[in-house]
Amino acid sequence: MEQFVVSAIKYRPLSFSSVVGQSTIGATLKNAIQRGHLSHAYLFCGPRGVGKTTCARIFAKTINCITPTSNLESCGVCESCRSFSEGRSYSIHELDAASNNSVEDIRSLIDQVRIPPQIGKYSVYIIDEVHMLSSAAFNAFLKTLEEPPAHAIFILATTEKHKILPTILSRCQIYDFSRITIEDIVSHLEDIAKKEGVTYEPDAFNIIARKADGAMRDALSIFDRVVSFCGNNITYTAVIDDLNVLDYDYYFRLTDALLEHDYVKCLMIFDEILKKGFDAQHFMAGLSSHFRDILVCKDPQTVTLLEVGKIIAERYKQQSAVCPVDFLFEALNIANRCETGYKASGNPRLHVELSLLNLSRIGSEKKNELTEENTQTASQPAVQQSAAQPPAPESASVPQKAKAELPEIPKGISLKGMNMRAENKTEEKEIVNKPFTEEELINEWKRFAENIKTKSPRLSNRLLEYNPKIVSDNLVQYPIMSEQHRKHMDDYSVNLIKHLKETLNAEIKIEWVVQESIADDGGTPKLYTQKDKLDYITSTNPAIDKLVKTLDLDYR
């Protein structure tokens, strides 16, 4: 029986061009080799399974290749390449920092760095999971990392760059590896399936890619597992059963029930999901993603953000056509609140069910209002018929001639709407500039002041202190004490002018005039300043005058 080799090892890339999803980094390293701009230390960082160690090995193999190709790839046939492929190269060294993280391990590495390479130009040291080194080991490594021998190159790989000392980071060229996209993973799995003679459904590979979460190594491991389960025919149903993934169909059915405001069906679908062993919080996270995917299908510019297979994508486009945007916004908010409060809930199942009930009520109030309006509109012809066909003259209380003169109500016009428009028309009556007397002005002025006494007592008292005077047909003057009072009165005069216009049926303009500019011969009481008031009080009461002088008080 032939020994099985896992796909992650069997199909490990051997050149920069075969590394999936990291073309920019591959191009940068090849340009550095071509120009001879090789650094003494590199740091490859990024999520798991995206090709950090693989690129480090390809880079080390390429710079030591005796006869590289024209596109700067290793030839694979020279002694250096063959020794590396067979695992007997003394020029390329790999160290696992997770199990060799002490100071003694680093000191042994430093002693080894002094030895020049047997084959090739460089001794390359690949340190994987470098963030696992202890602080003491990092400090022991600093000097050698900064000034290694000319033949030594260090390539550090890590998934947690933030745990590495800044002094180490400053000595390295840093390359950030990105997650591999779902499209790239699916394409690579399809190539491997063809080489292995495995038939497949495209949506099945899409599920594997989403499960891998951007890691090619994880995707290849899941591929091997699915092949063991399905054999040489990988189907969508078999993949979701083997990986215990919640089928998209549940979310489509649930969304249809929510749009129909069928809360009973929603609760039954959720119960079915729980009986299959799925976690309720995982279900709500998937429902949020489902609403998001429907939302991105609403616009051609965002539909490219949908990361599903072609068959599933068509279902999303169909459902997005019947889902209002307002529904999706509110649904996303409710689902997000459910996820946030899930762990704090004492009854998680009830917590999710309440969220489903709230989801099923979205838009139901508006639907009820529309139903009531349609009912009123449907009953309208009967009202119109009774208005168009009055009862017989002998039984009527209104003469037939008077009835004939009544205007006929047009069809399709709501009586309620006619009444509302009539009311609005009454409210918006035209100002005709009716003449008014000063007595009428004073009465309405005081009535307004009394009405605002509760909300604005100071303003009310100020308006009641004196009587307004009519200067011309539309201009009214009122005395105030200072410019500061003028600004205060201007801020509140809008409602006063509106009241006077409505009650006196005239366009009115109010002018707030400071005391000195008002003639006193018309009988209007003079407005005293603060200093006048203080002088009067002190002249009539010697005790207050003494108090003011003793405390050096001011009238301001």
Both 279 and 312 in one domain: the answer is: yes
Average pLDDT over residues 120-140: 89
The verdict on 192 and 340 lying in the same domain is no
Across 226-230, 304-308, 490-494, which has the greatest mean pLDDT? 226-230
In this structure, which long-range contacts are made by residues 163-169, counting pairs with CB atoms below 8 Å and at least 24 apart in sequence?
Answer: 163/131, 164/43, 164/130, 164/131, 164/138, 165/135, 165/138, 167/138, 167/142, 168/43, 168/130, 168/138, 168/141, 168/142, 169/43
| Residue 222: burial class (beta carbons within 10 Å; 0-12, 13-18, 19+) | buried
**Tokens at 350, concatenated:** 């009830």
pLDDT for 403: 43
At 350-385, the pLDDT tens digits run 999 999 999 998 877 655 555 555 655 555 554 454
pLDDT at residue 156 greater than cutoff 90: yes
Neighbours of 387 (CB within 10 A): 14
CATH number where 351 lies: 1.20.272.10
CATH number at residue 197: 1.10.8.60
- Asked if residue 414 belongs to a domain, the reply is no
- Say which range, 165-169, 269-273, 432-436, has the weakest mean pLDDT: 432-436
For the cut 60, the answer to whether the pLDDT of residue 68 exceeds it is: yes
> Which of 365, 386, 420 is the last residue in one of the domains?
365
Looking at the structure, tell me whether residues 555 and 463 fall in a common domain.
no
Whether residue 545 is contained in a domain is answered as yes
Q: 508 — phi, psi (to 5°)?
A: -130, 140
Mean pLDDT of 326-347: 90
Residue 429 belongs to a domain: no
pLDDT reported for residue 153: 92
| DSSP assignment of 86-108 | TT--SSEEEEETTT--SHHHHHH
pLDDT given for residue 520 in this prediction = 45
Residues 340 and 254 in one domain: yes
Specify whether 190 is located in the same domain as 279: no
Q: What CA–CA distance (Å, rounded) separates 175 from 52?
A: 9
Does residue 276 share a domain with residue 168? no
Which residue reads 């740091």 in tokens? 43
Average pLDDT rounded to a whole number, residues 266-270 = 93
- Does 468 share its domain with 542? no
Q: Of 120-129, 248-257, 520-529, which gets the smallest average pLDDT?
A: 520-529
Q: Do 233 and 254 share a domain, yes or no?
A: no
Q: Identify which has the larger pLDDT, 518 or 30.
A: 30
**Token digits of residue 274:** 């729980």
**Residue, of 400 and 135, whose pLDDT is higher:** 135
CA distance 64 to 77: 12
Q: Left, alpha or beta for 261 (phi > 0: left; psi -120 to 50: alpha)?
A: left
**Cα 477 vs. chain centroid, distance in angstroms?**
56
**Domain endpoint, select from 213, 243, 273:** 243
454 and 549 assigned to the same domain:
no
Whether residue 452 lies inside any domain: the answer is yes
Residue 536 counted as domain residue? yes
Let me know if residue 52 belongs to a domain. yes
Q: Which DSSP category does 49 fall into?
A: T
Are 483 and 514 in contact by the 8 Å Cβ rule? The answer is yes
Determine, yes or no, domain membership for 425.
Answer: no
Q: Mark whether 163 and 208 lie in a shared domain.
A: no
Structural domains counted in the chain: 5
Q: What is the mean pLDDT of residues 424-434?
A: 54
Residues 19 and 90 grouped into a single domain: yes
Q: What is the pLDDT of residue 147?
A: 87
Binning pLDDT at 50, 70 and 90, where does residue 432 land? Answer: low
Q: Does a structural domain hold residue 155? A: yes
Q: Tell me: the pLDDT tens digits for 399-414?
A: 444 444 444 444 444 4
Average pLDDT, the chain: 81
473 shares its domain with 541: no
Residue-level pLDDT at 189? 92
Instruction: Give the residue numbers spanning the domain of 492.
Output: 438-525
- Categorize the per-residue pLDDT at 421 as very low, low, confident or very high, splitting at 50, 70 and 90: very low
Q: How confident is the model at residue 516 (pLDDT cuts 50, 70, 90)?
A: low
**pLDDT more than 90, % of the chain:** 24
Question: Looking at 127, 160, 176, which one is the last position of a domain?
Answer: 176
Q: What average pLDDT does range 88-92 have in this prediction?
A: 85
Span 110-130, mean pLDDT? Answer: 88
pLDDT score recorded for residue 414: 46
What is the helix (H) or strand (E) element at residue 71, kind and residue range? none
CB 40 within 8 A of CB 33: no
Structure-token match 């680093």, residue found: 106
CATH code for position 41 = 3.40.50.300
